[in-house]
Amino acid sequence: MRAAILREYDATPELGEFDEPAAAGDTVVADVLAAGLNPVDIRTAAGVFPLAPKPPLPSVAGWEGVARLEDGSRVYFVDPPPPH
Range of the domain at 42: 2-78
Residue 69 lies in a domain: yes
**Taking 90 as the threshold, does the pLDDT of residue 15 lie above it?**
yes
Say how many domains are in the chain.
1
What pLDDT is stored for residue 45 in this prediction? 82
Give the CATH number, domain containing residue 73: 3.90.180.10
Residue 74 lies in a domain: yes
Residue 60 lies in a domain: yes
pTM here?
A: 0.81
Residue 84 lies in a domain: no
- Which residues, other chains included, contact 4 with Cβ-Cβ below 8 Å and sequence gap of 6+? 13, 14, 15, 37, 60, 61, 62
How does residue 14 score in pLDDT terms, banded at 50, 70 and 90? very high
41 to 12, 27, 28, 71: CA distances (angstroms): 11, 22, 23, 30
**Taking 80 as the threshold, does the pLDDT of residue 22 lie above it?**
yes
DSSP state letter for 41: H
- Which residues, other chains included, contact 56 with Cβ-Cβ below 8 Å and sequence gap of 6+? 82, 83
How does residue 50 score in pLDDT terms, banded at 50, 70 and 90? confident
